[in-house]
């Protein structure tokens, strides 16, 4: 039986303490991870934005939006990886309605 593919979007807030190369590497790392486990539809780099409040004493961060389709198990694993990765200030994964 074929697994049901759901549409998801995830937003990453990446620390600027990583530097330009570190931020670019982080964006590419998660792009590769999503492509390996799901169908990546788009990557929208919002760039450097001011935060509404300080997170770890940082006032600015780098935002990236990924849209992808996967089975129901992958977003939980992706969230787990976000939580253990240094340099990720915040993350959000949302299941989009069909």
Region 2-16 average pLDDT: 90
| pLDDT tens digits along 71-80 | 989 999 999 9
User: Domain map of the chain by residue range?
Assistant: 6-95
The number of residues in the chain equals: 98
CA–CA separation, 10 and 8 (whole Å): 7
6-95 CATH, one of 1.10.1740.10, 3.60.110.10, 1.10.287.70, 3.30.70.60: 3.30.70.60
Position 97 scores a pLDDT of 84
| pLDDT tens digits along 18-32 | 999 999 999 999 999
Phi, psi of 44 (to 5 degrees): -120, 105
DSSP state of 18: G
Position 43 scores a pLDDT of 95
| pLDDT tens digits along 29-68 | 999 999 999 999 999 999 999 999 999 999 999 999 999 9
Position 81 scores a pLDDT of 95
């Amino acid at each position: 039986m074929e697994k049901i593919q759901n549409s998801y979007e995830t937003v990453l807030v990446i620390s600027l303490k990583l530097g330009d190369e570190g931020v670019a590497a982080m964006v590419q790392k998660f792009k590769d991870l999503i492509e390996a486990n799901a169908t990546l539809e788009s990557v929208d780099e919002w760039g450097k934005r001011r935060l509404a409040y300080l997170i770890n004493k940082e006032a600015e961060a780098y935002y990236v939006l990924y849209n992808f389709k996967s089975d129901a198990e992958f977003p939980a694993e992706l969230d787990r990886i976000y939580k253990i990765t240094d340099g990720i200030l915040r993350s959000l994964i949302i299941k989009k309605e069909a």
